[in-house]
Structure 1
Amino acid sequence: MTHSHSHSSAAQQEKSLVAATSVIAALGLTTMKFVVGLLTNSLGILAEAAHSALDLMAALITYFTVRVSDKPADKEHPFGHGKLENISALIQSLILIVTAGWIIYESFDRLIHPGTHIELSIWAFIVMGVSIVVDYSRSRMLKKAAEKHNSQALEADALHFSIDIWSSGVVILGLILVWASMSFNVPWLEKADAIAALIVAFIILFVSGELGLKAIHELIDAAPQNGIQEQIIAAVCRLEGITNAHALRIRSSGGRWFVDMHITVPGQMTVQDSHALTEEIEQVVEQLLPHSDVTVHVEPDGIHPV
């Protein structure tokens, strides 16, 4: 017996709006960083520009993903289109890993073959400061929407912007050290820009790796690791008339959960009573795991649990 809870059009509109504003923010930051990075010849800022360009690509992927993933289930896609969000998150993580590789290569090249002169400008500090402010507001809004709608695509987008906050801070520190090397004639501090870019790259690698693994777990329907199965079994077994609950399976797709389980009831229970019991179970599961599609298989007492 199955009970379905469809996402409202208002939720879809909210997700699309949040994703669209991320596209605009990423476009503005990418443009500013590339212009200032080229003018100053700062690898740190250019690395951040490349990072923001990927954020733009990721934001575009997220925007189109959330517009499609909430489409209702159809004949060809009986579980809906929610897995597109997980695919989107995986693609974003792979793109980030490739970019981190390029930044690492360029950083080591500058460290091994020094001589690139950085033209410091107040604009370099201004653009990175603006970046931090925009990234902070974007990441908070995206994270809030991701938690509200259980959206991995929006969560991945929020992660991109939150990484930018830290990496922008590292770049600013690198620029300050380069300024100090010029002001106080400390030549070795000129390498700070390349080192800052390296730190940004390793931050990207670490976080994108975690994001990619999470997306893979979702795609292969790995069981949740937060103890929710035990909570559901315990809550269902407390209902009157149920002698056993077992064979619980949970899979996610986009912002929805699909829950299958078996229960045993007294053999003399009528079909009408057992149906009413499954309705209670669906309500219990919905309280513990919102946006759930629950399927309950009823067995008479005496059958060995699977």
Structure 2
Amino acid sequence: AEQLNALAPGAGPKKTIFLTTGAEAVENAIKIARFHTRRSAVLAFSGAFHGRTLACVSLTGKVQPYKAGFGPMLPEVYHLPYPMPYHGVTLEHSLRALEQLFKADVDPARVAAIIIEPVLGEGGFYAAPSEFLRRLRGVCDSHGIVLIADEIQSGFGRTGRMFAIEHAGVEPDLITLAKSVAGGVPLSAVTGKADIMDAPGPGGLGGTFAGSPLGCAAGLAVLEVMREEQLLKRAQEIGRFMSSRLKGLQARFPCVGDVRALGAMVALELVKNARADAPDADLTRALVQAAGRRGLVILSCGVYSNVIRFLAPLTISDTHLKEGCHLFEQALEEVAGAGVKATAAG
């Protein structure tokens, strides 16, 4: 806890509560924010993923497969458009939507928290513009709203900084952590400003297996390895290498609409005829299968299920990284090469 408190961005005292899963971290962050503010409404974003428990799926901004059939959802949760310049959603669009929401649907004086992934995870690896995060911080300051950074997928060095929100120079009030925090051993955490963390009384937060000795020991070992092996620097190297390889594919294949990366959080978006408004989910599924036949496991994501996300281990060797990229290129050539040849012949 002391090490996480020291690593969290911003000045002032911090505190940490340990839990077991990412969903628990998000649930407890919302509870802390509500208790601290004595308010109930929460703002989240389209395309976001915050977990599969009922409160977390209410915050999640995608119906299939997460919400369908599980309603009714948690009340007083409102969604805003996440900035996605590739799809024509600018930070100004998102900020105007926030302004309109405050006018039409919820008084900002009723809002306990705004929760945001600095980089959308399941939503497609879109990074929120730094200016947007700074202005969101300003909105929270103006209205006494708790800003929660969900760093469960983007945190712990993945983007080349300890936390992705550090790229924007923004200090959140609370940060949720899981996944990489203990190298795969079940452990999650909420780290935040001490005065906010102290709001709930004894017994209000916790869990049967929260902060297990094994999980905490693994978490300490992860921090030691990150320092010794300079994994923040390694994340940047991985991102540069993969971006270069994928942009080479973008130049060859019209189906590769966009390549984006923040550190080693890398994505490739597949579209039809180089059009951002024509996502190609079928090609994406075929690409995942073609890669699998070559022994390469890749994952799709995105609001339109047309994004391949790359989360190479920060400890990966150069040899394995190059081999993985080579296998991916072969798979893409298999599923998209025919179209390229037909276009060239035409």
Compare CA radii of gyration and give the structure with the larger one.
1
TM-score of the alignment, normalized to the shorter chain, above 0.5: no
Relative to its length, the structure with more helix (as a share) is 1
Structure with higher RCO (Cα < 8 A, 6+ apart): 1
TM-score of the superposed pair, with normalisation by structure 2 = 0.26
